[in-house]
Every structure is written in C-alpha cells, then in structure tokens.
Amino acid sequence: MNILLSFEIQRLIRHWSVYLVAALLVLAGIFCGMRFNLSVGKGIYLNSPYSIGFLTGMLSLSVIFIAMIHSGRILFKDWDSGFDILIFSYPFSRRSYLTGKFLSYFLQTFFSFAVLVLGMAVGHQLRSGSEMQASFHSWHYLYPLLIFGALNTFLVCSMLFYIAMVFRKKLLVIVGGLLLYVAYMVLLVFSNAPFMSGNLPQSEWAQQVSALADPFGLSAYFYRSASWSVLQRNTSIVSCSGFLLANRMLYIALSAVFLMLAFRKFSISLTVFKKKKDQFPAEDFPLHRTKEYISVLPSFGMVSALKSSVHWRG
C-alpha cells in the first residue's frame, strides 16, 4: 500500500470528527429515503431498482460539493501547514506522492457518498405505504453506487485534483467545482435531457447525443431503459451496456486525462524552491558586507560564567 495513503487511513481512524460526519451523512440519507418522492412513472415503486438508480444518480451531484469540502483538508493540508518542505525532503517520487494524495482524496469522497446511500437504503426500509414494495435487495443499491457514485466521484475528483496540483489555489478549486455543476445543468438543457425536457417529444438523434454528453450518466440511464415496461422497471436493474456503457467509458477516459495532466504538470522541486524563496527573500542576504569584521577576544572568567548562567535561566 502507498505509504501516504496508509498514513492518512490510520489518521482518519483515530479522528472522532470522521465518525460524526459519517453519522450526519447517514441521517441525511435516511431523510432522503423517507421523504423524497421522485416518481419516475405511474405504477413504479419508489424503492424499485429503476427508481433507486435514478435517485442515486441524482444524489451523485452532491459529490461535487463533498469533493470541494474535502479538497481544502486533503489537497492543501501540506502547503497550508508548511509541512510540504519536510515531506519533500524524504525520498518520495512524484508519482508516489501524487498517487497517495489522489487515492486518499478519492476514497474519502467516495466513502462519504457511500455512507449517504447507506442512509438512503435505511430510509427506504423504514418507510411504508402503497408506493413501496416489501422486498429488499442490496445489489439494487450497490449497482448504481458503482456506475454513478464511483465513476462520478472519479470524474469530479480527478478534475479538482488537476486544478489543485497545477494552480495550487483553493479559490480556483471552489470555482471549478461550481462551474462543473452549472455547466452540467446547462448541458442538460441544450442536449434535451429527458428529465429536463419533461414530456416534450425528442428525436432519436437528440436522445443519443444527450446520452453521450451527460457527464453524470443520467441521460444514458434513461435512454437505455426508454422502452422498458412498468414490470421491468420494478424488478430489473438497468444493465451497463449500449449508450450507458459508452457514456461511462467516455468519462473514465476524460478522468484519466485529467490525472495524467496533473501528474505531468506537478513539480516537487518547483514547490520547495518557491516556498524557500518566499520565506527567505534575496534582499535579506546582501552580497556585500557593509561593516568590517570585529575580532573578539574570548573570556572564560568568573564574570562570563555568571553572565551565561543568568542568560540561561532567563
């Protein structure tokens, strides 16, 4: 295991705030499962495989904000504390350092979202009514957690990780996350995404463009199951094939590009040199001395011993 990742995991296990945040996320998920009424069609249960996938995909938008919060603590921690000089003095390779940083960032963000989905599953089990079906299948929650939660987390984290490692500005990471959210909404409008266009008719070509362009995969999810019956949506999961598979592979590739650029642009030596240059300006060390050296005669008498004792005690 990467040594930086191992250190981060051990630190988190011993930190009480991690468990507090996890408990709050579980409660938020329970609230979503018990109170959200996102109906995807008449006769379709709220806890059907199709509805669970849709709700998980919608909740995956929260990954943007979760990743923005984690970025300040994980990605900028070394620079803010000045600990980067000490870390970079050890024989870490650039690849080892960045790999540990990204894995820690990705896993903590994904874990936060997974806890949210866990709370949603608990909320569904606590809910009753004619809109809920009695059966429970863990795979109906794990499957959308993988195709939406994990892959969307990978996309968001790789993009924000690139911004943080290349520009090293917290404000740019926040702006980048907000722009990603706004750009996604604009893209859905202009690509005529199914749940943005409502009941307006769409051409086959428009649906296919939307299915490929949607970075979070919801349009591809709808297109893949457009011809399904109510019974299929209540009993079967939407398989990752066709345009849904193409969409997921496309944005995995884009995420890999962001990571590759981050690994290529980041420089440890440049970071340390810049930090040292900022701390010790050149004007503080003139090249030419302005005074002559004064020779000092050592004195080891009683008076000197008394002075050194007084100074030490003070």
- Which pLDDT value is given to residue 293? 58
In this predicted model, what pLDDT tens digit does every residue of 120-175 receive, in sequence order? 999 999 998 888 888 889 999 999 999 999 999 999 999 999 999 999 899 999 99
Question: What distance in Å separates the CA atoms of residue 92 and residue 94, rounded to the nearest whole number?
Answer: 6
In this predicted model, what pLDDT tens digit does every residue of 227-254 receive, in sequence order? 899 999 999 999 999 999 999 999 999 9
Question: What distance in Å separates the CA atoms of residue 153 and residue 117, rounded to the nearest whole number?
Answer: 14
Interval 74-87 mean pLDDT: 76
- Which pLDDT value is given to residue 158? 97
Mean pLDDT of the chain: 83
Question: What distance in Å separates the CA atoms of residue 109 and residue 168, rounded to the nearest whole number?
Answer: 19
Q: Please give the share of the chain, as a percent, with pLDDT higher than 70.
A: 77
What sign for the dihedral angle of Cα 177, 180, 186, 192? negative
Q: Please give the share of the chain, as a percent, with pLDDT higher than 90.
A: 49
What is the dihedral angle through the alpha carbons of 202, 206, 209, 215, rounded to the nearest 10 degrees? Answer: -40
- Which pLDDT value is given to residue 203? 78
Say whether pLDDT at 312 is over 50. Answer: no
Say whether pLDDT at 192 is over 60. Answer: no
pLDDT band of 97, cuts 50, 70, 90: confident
Say whether pLDDT at 259 is over 80. Answer: yes
Contact 210, 194 (CB under 8 A): yes
Tokens of 306: 């008394």
Q: Looking at per-residue confidence, does 294 or 188 come out higher?
A: 188
Can you give the residue range of the structural domain that contains 197? Answer: 3-313
Contact 253, 245 (CB under 8 A): no
- Which pLDDT value is given to residue 266? 85
pLDDT band of 176, cuts 50, 70, 90: very high
- Which pLDDT value is given to residue 313? 42
pLDDT band of 42, cuts 50, 70, 90: confident
Contact 106, 146 (CB under 8 A): no
Other C-beta atoms lying within 10 Å of the C-beta of residue 198: 6
Overall domain count for the chain:
1
- Which pLDDT value is given to residue 209? 87
pLDDT band of 72, cuts 50, 70, 90: confident
Per-residue burial over 110-119, b = 16 or more CB atoms within 10 Å of its CB, e = otherwise: bbbbbbbbbb
